Amino acid sequence: MAKKPMTLAQKLLANKLGVPYVEPGELIEVPVDLTLANDITAPLAIKVFESTCIERIFDPNKIALVMDHFTPNKDIKSAEQVRICREFARKYGIKHYYEGGNCGIEHALLPELGLVVPGDIIIGADSHTCTYGAFGAFATGVGSTDLAGAWITGKIWFKVPESMKFIYHGELKPWVTGKDLILYTIGDIGVDGALYMAMEFTGEVIKRLSMAERMTMANMAIEAGAKVGLMEADRTTLAYLKGRISREPVILKADKKANYKEIREYDCSKIDLVVALPHLPSNVKFVKELPNKIYIDQVVIGSCTNGRYEDLEIAGRILKGKRVNPNIRCIIIPATPEVFKKALKKGLIQIFVEAGAIVSPPTCGPCLGGHMGILAKGEKAVATTNRNFVGRMGHPESEIYLAGPAVAAASAILGYIGTPDEVL
């Protein structure tokens, strides 16, 4: 009997189960290779876990707790949240606990540390866990209760998702990055366009993207409602992981005759710098086609979406020798200590400070309206973050405009949403 062709999502799940085929819609129970939570979601999972009176974790080496959202502790409540996580980690011998100077934004930190390996099944009590799909891993967000269950059993239930395939052709325009590609794609299909599906990104353009850009695209798959955002691991992936991982990667590829719910193709030479207007990531416009100047109060360059070195390097190229507009605040947040150190070594931090920007230690901070840049009533911000919902970064009558690092940096100089061409 001929072997049925499978998408990348099917391949990853079938491989982990050790079966020849899994069917979209099938309910399966899969072993997990890594589970993660942060200072907001971990205490909820800990409470559920401890309510069971079970006295052991399935594998303390497969749990990562990252104190990244409200840290350094912004108030008493956040300090208590972190204390709960710290004590839990000590009690159960959890090796991968990160707080303080060794902590970064979880979805940038864990790949750096070699905890994400191609072929893995990864769950996290954070919706942007789908970031790791950039490495050819099946990674998705779950609720804190499901996470607690996985801490007990080492397994998680999934419904095998259908897949959508996105093929990117052509050459990228100057300054256009993976952030523009994913925003353009979400603008095309809508915020529920891939609901509980696997978004499989492929094509010559994807193969030329850096791992930073690939992670940006996979990170925002959830903004289209997807279960996972996936890319096949290749030489670029393995080059990034060299010296980081201690386990052998499992490199899987979709079958040529795999069945997709839908296939969409994009000519990237026609995709310009974009911005997502309030209050949805799908409300996308080309920056050059905005009918009026949109004046802003704040720029944030950072987050699990665009806080990697490559993002800061783009911002540095634009801000070098320039000054942040006196009417706005520009906050730059390196995603991890490694990113911060490299930016310092390469002179980017000095460029930012001399330009009048505020440089923050690694934190999710303003992305979720936590701290380090909350918006007041009526204020507008350009952010390289991933969500621009009502009240996401502060007051419910504030506005968030999502963009890549090039538009964000240029806008910081101009005082309104613009492009590098206007300042260079």
> Do both 298 and 245 map to the same domain?
no
Q: Does 372 fall in a domain? A: yes
* Paired strand residues for 31: 155
170 part of a folded domain:
yes
Predicted pLDDT of residue 272 = 96
Let me know whether 149 and 57 are in one domain.
yes
In a domain, 71, yes or no: yes
Torsion 412-417-422-424 (CA) sign: positive
Condensed to tens digits (0 to 9), the pLDDT of residues 102-138 reads 999 999 999 999 999 999 999 999 999 999 999 999 9
- Last residue within a domain, chosen from 204, 234, 265: 265
pLDDT at residue 2 in the model: 55
Mean pLDDT of 214-222: 96
Chain segment 338-374, per-residue pLDDT in tens: 999 999 999 999 999 999 999 999 998 887 888 888 9
Largest CA distance in the chain: 70
| Predicted local confidence at residue 391, as pLDDT | 86
Task: Let me know if residue 2 belongs to a domain.
Answer: no
The last residue of one of the domains, among 230, 265, 300, is: 265
Residue 46: CATH number of its domain: 3.30.499.10
Q: How many domains, the chain?
A: 2
Phi, psi at 358, each rounded to 5°: -100, 125
98 plus 136 within the same structural domain: yes
Q: Say if residue 240 is in the same domain as residue 295.
A: no
pLDDT tens, residue by residue, 50-97: 999 898 999 999 999 999 998 888 899 999 999 999 999 999 999 999
* Residue 117 within a domain: yes
Does some domain include residue 6? Answer: no
Q: Do 253 and 366 lie in a common domain? A: no
- Domain containing 192 equals 11-18+25-265
Task: Say how many Å lie between the first and final Cα of the chain, rounded.
Answer: 62
Shared-domain flag, residues 319 and 277: yes
Residue 351: its pLDDT value, please? 97
E strands, 243-367, in order? 262-267, 274-276, 284-286, 298-301, 329-332, 358-359
Is 4 inside any structural domain?
A: no
Same domain, 310 and 222: no
Q: Report the b/e string of 126-152 with b at 16+ CB within 10 A.
A: bbbbbbbbbbbbbbbbbebebbbbbbe
Predicted local distance difference test score (pLDDT) of residue 1 = 46
Could you tell me the pTM of the whole model?
A: 0.94
- Three-state secondary-structure class, residue 52: coil
Q: What percent of the chain has pLDDT over 70?
A: 100
Boundary of a domain, candidates 265, 299, 332: 265
Residue 364: what pLDDT? 87
Mean pLDDT of 5-21: 96
Task: Assess whether 283 and 248 both reside in one domain.
Answer: no
Q: How far apart are CA 116 and CA 132, in angstroms?
A: 7
Residues 295 and 250 in one domain: no
Give yes or no: residues 346 and 244 share one domain: no
373 and 244, same structural domain? Answer: no
Looking at the structure, do residues 202 and 241 belong to the same domain, yes or no? yes
